[in-house]
Amino acid sequence: MNRIVLRSLSPARAVLPAAVFLAFLGAASTPAVAGPFSHMFAKSAAHKTVDAGDKAALVGAAVRQALDEKRYVDAADLFEKAQIAKISSPHLVDLDGELLLARGQYSDALMMFRGASADPAEKAEALEGEGLALSMLGKSDEALADLKQATALDKSLWRAWNGLGREYDIRHDWKLSEAAYKEGLACAGAETAIILNNRGYSHMLQHQPELAKTDFVAALDKDPALAAARTNLRIAMAMDGHYDRAAVVGVGDDKAAVLNNVGLAAAIRGDYPEAEKLLNQAIQAKGAYYERAADNLQLAKQLEARSVEHQALPNVTP
């Protein structure tokens, strides 16, 4: 099942060399007039010079906009130019971690966030980034500690609340996960579609498909392009037994993938004949060997065999 955890994670990430993102802790200096940021630092009549802090702030604002718009190549280009111009600040280090996080380079992102967290002004957001990176690296206990500390320092960090919800889901602590998602949804500027999708996923884990469907529909109302919510909605419908609705294929949908997901949901539900039918249809729709559907078909058959064995056991009462 698909789960979106981080605001800036998206498919089709290009990866640039790690060296592009390093060396932001050196002393800043004024770039030459023809340098990479000369258009941003042109002198006005009122201000003959732009100090290092203002330069870093201008670069940071441009990077932040690029990250928010998921223009990761542009953000990387801005960082490379800042490195050439020797423009640095703890905030830029934190934003560098954001870019690495968005690209799935979690270990490198963690290094950046830890560097930024030494600055009191960046500590809360850096801890948020640390926690999210640790969560993606599978270091759950460390992630939980960082995310809790981040939200204690700044309750407006919706991604930290969202990450906490995921961590509590892993622990099956449903009450705390629900509370975390609720806090995230209340944050100003939160990407509510992502949080609603993750809360719906949590409801699926709790075998509450009706509540899950409500959240997935709400997520798609907020962001119709959120593919994870659409996939999860299909799975929730299938878990509720609505296979025909779940298997409807729209424009741009991968029919084989849709049938595979619905078939797997049927197997989880214990409807093994329907699961095997759907998974066989997925394999046929692929037109070639479909390893994922073949594996799920094998799983469905194994689960069915175990179910038959269990039913055949004598019912012995003391």
Tokens of 190: 């939160």
3-state class (DSSP) for residue 116? helix
Question: Would you say residue 35 has pLDDT above 60?
Answer: no
Which H or E run contains 54? Answer: helix 52-68
Q: What percent of the chain has a predicted confidence (pLDDT) above 70? A: 81
Q: What is the pLDDT of residue 254?
A: 93
Nearest-angstrom CA–CA distance, 157 and 296: 38
Q: How confident is the model at residue 251 (pLDDT cuts 50, 70, 90)?
A: confident
Q: Looking up tokens 């320092």, which residue turns up?
A: 153
Amino acid symbol at 171: R
Q: C-alpha angle 142/113/28, rounded to 5°?
A: 160
Asked if residue 13 has pLDDT above 90, the reply is: no
CB 222 within 8 A of CB 192: yes
More confident residue, 144 or 26: 144
Mean pLDDT of 234-242: 92
CB-CB contact of 239 with 204 (8 Å): yes
Closest CA to 212 of 250, 184, 239: 239
Q: In a 10 Å sphere around its CB, with 0-12 CB exposed, 13-18 middle and 19+ buried, how is residue 49 labelled?
A: exposed
- Distance CA(181)–CA(47), nearest Å, equals 46
Given a cut of 90, is residue 8 above it in pLDDT?
Answer: no
pTM for the whole thing?
Answer: 0.76
* Structure tokens that stand for 68 in this block: 């928010």
194-224 burial, b if ≥16 CB within 10 A, otherwise e? bbbbbbbbbbbeeebbeebbbbbebbbeebe
pLDDT digit string, tens, across residues 50-106: 455 589 999 999 999 999 999 999 999 999 999 999 999 999 999 999 999 999 999
What per-residue string of b and e applies to 152-172 under the rule 16 or more CB within 10 Å gives b? eeeeebbbbbbbbbbbbbeee
DSSP letter at 315?
-
Considering only CA atoms, which of 51, 153, 186 is closest in space to residue 165?
186
Sign of CA dihedral 54, 60, 62, 68: negative
Cα 32 from Cα 120, distance rounded (Å): 31
- The separation between CA 260 and the C-alpha centre of its own chain, rounded to angstroms, equals 23
Position with higher pLDDT, 235 vs 12: 235
Which one, of 276, 252, 247, lies nearest residue 264 by Cα? 276
For the chain, where are the E strands, in sequence order?
none
Looking at residue 130, its amino acid is E
pLDDT > 90: percent of the chain: 74
